[in-house]
Chain A
Amino acid sequence: MAEELKLHRTWSSPFGLRIVWALHIKGIEYDAIFEDLSQKSPELLQYNPIHKKIPVLVHKGKPICESLVILEYIDETWKEAPLLPQDPYEKAMARFWAKFGEEKLLPSIWSVFTGQGEEKKEALGLAVQNLELLEEQLKEKFFGGEKIGYLDLVFGWLAYLLDVFEEVIDLKLFDAGKFPLLSAWMKNFYDAPEIKEHWPPRDKLVTKFQVLHEKYQTANPPK
């Protein structure tokens, strides 16, 4: 029942989108609560007092925080359309690559977005290296195989945010020619029915990241 399941999210956060996609794939109904992070709801602060972040999934009044933890919770609670592989070794590989995505790939790309001058150049080199490692992992249509799985949801943000970043910073981060498999994956993921109806409006995203980019430029002017 929808009143038993709530998702606190924002209109643009890729971390929240992971949960939206997972719930759609599993066919689970829920109430979406859109937060304004400049004015967090009392419920959000009550459910995630430590990090005060979204997404938070609230199931029968019990909150679950951190998008990757939520994905595993969803997969263990609703067993249809499994997101993670069943085999423990395959599962370990998926978790390893998710960690790589969060701790290496995402920060390296974010550093390109926020960085300037030499710092930006170095970050770009690292980001490209990380993308190369990811390209090597694609063996089928999706990271999950023939169907979208956990890792596709973890990396899904690449399919909509990379080109927004490129437009805002006016820098080609992702050369489709160098990454044929990732490029194809991005198109397949972007157009998948369970995924595409949830994309945030692109023009709104560009504006948001332009504002954010300016903030970083003025806070850290190039030396």
Chain B
Amino acid sequence: MGEENKVTLHGMWLSPYVKRVELALKVKGIPFEYIEEDLSNKSPLLLKYNPIHKKVPVLVHNEEPVNESLVILEYIDETWKNGPRLLPEDPYERSKVRFWAAYIQQVMECMLKIFTAEDQEKACEEFYEKLDVLEDGMKKMFPWGSPKIEVGNIGLLDILILVAFGACKAQEEVFGVKFLDPQKAPLIHSWVNTLLELAVLKETVPPRDKVVSFLRAFKERSASAQAQ
């Protein structure tokens, strides 16, 4: 990799937002250096590259930083035009992908709220409602039943769906909530499972026991924080 095209990704191993960027870079075959950040002790580089939000992911391309995962993904798609396109060519199809990208974000945020919610039942209700809408929307988007997933054709929605739901089983183990029920969300459930089988994506998913330990520790910390 020549210095004139150096790509660095500042991340945290479990952040779904970082995972999105990692997956996009892998899918496009873009070589990059990964820097794991300790979010309780952020590196000076991170603070320099993302002074406003001080968050990960940060993609640095030829020393220019790009922040915010969806902004980064579109930047990657527009800068590296060979390999699979993350977004379709047609403007109307692109608008649908962008609309659903924003909605998947809302669904994911609802799901993450369940981890710390005092009223877990209510948080689950809100999540399942949104998940229903997403399932329905995806059925309409892929009227032939499911997205056609090919190794050479992985797109933005594939990445977002995998990141949002890829750790559901680990989450279920810790929080006792069935996040992705194949009866209630058959299309999304099968979509995630198909994606998880693709090598290029599978290798980016963190090991289940590592995720489970992290989430258990997180759950304990939140419970004691709430108890105070």
Contacts and interface: CB of A to CB of B under 8 A. Distances in A.
The yes or no verdict on A and B being binding partners is: yes
A214 interface: no
Given A50-B133, A88-B75, A88-B78, A96 B68 contact: yes
Contacts of A66: 98-99, 102
A198 interface: no
A69 B95 contact: yes
Nearest to A66: B99
Contacts of A89: 61, 64, 66, 75, 79
Main secondary structure of the interface of A (DSSP, over half): helix
A100 interface: yes
A92 B91 contact: no
Interface stretch (A7-15, A28-36, A57-65): A57-65
A76 B90 CA distance: 9
B181 to A, nearest CB: 21
Given A69-B98, A92-B66, A99 B92 contact: no
B160 to A, nearest CB: 15
Interface string A96-127: 10011000000000000000000000000000
B23 interface: no
Contacts of B78: 88, 91
Nearest to A62: B92
B75 to A, nearest CB: 4
B7 interface: no
Contacts of B137: 50
Contacts of A65: 99
Contacts of B95: 64, 69-70, 72-73
B46 to A, nearest CB: 16
Contact of B71 (A69, A70, A92): A92
Interface in B4-47: none
A99 B71 contact: yes
Nearest to B97: A69
B92 A96 contact: no
Nearest to A94: B71
Contacts of A81: none
A199 B51 CA distance: 35
Instruction: Specify which of B52, B61, B103, B137 lies most central, judged by the most chain A CB atoms within 10 Å of its CB.
Output: B52
A73 B75 contact: no
B18 to A, nearest CB: 17
A99 B99 CA distance: 14
A72 B68 contact: no
A77 B92 CA distance: 9
B74 interface: yes
Interface in A43-100: 50, 59, 62, 64-66, 69-70, 72-73, 76-77, 88-89, 91-92, 95-96, 99-100
22 contacts: A64-B92, A64-B99, A66-B98, A66-B99, A69-B95, A69-B98, A69-B99, A70-B95, A73-B91, A73-B94, A76-B91, A88-B78, A88-B79, A89-B79, A91-B74, A91-B78, A92-B66, A95-B70, A96-B66, A96-B68, A96-B71, A133-B52
Interface of B: 52, 61, 64, 66-68, 70-72, 74-75, 78-79, 91-92, 94-95, 98-99, 102-103, 133, 137
Given A69-B95, A69-B99, A91-B78, 4 more contacts: A65-B99, A66-B102, A77-B91, A99-B71
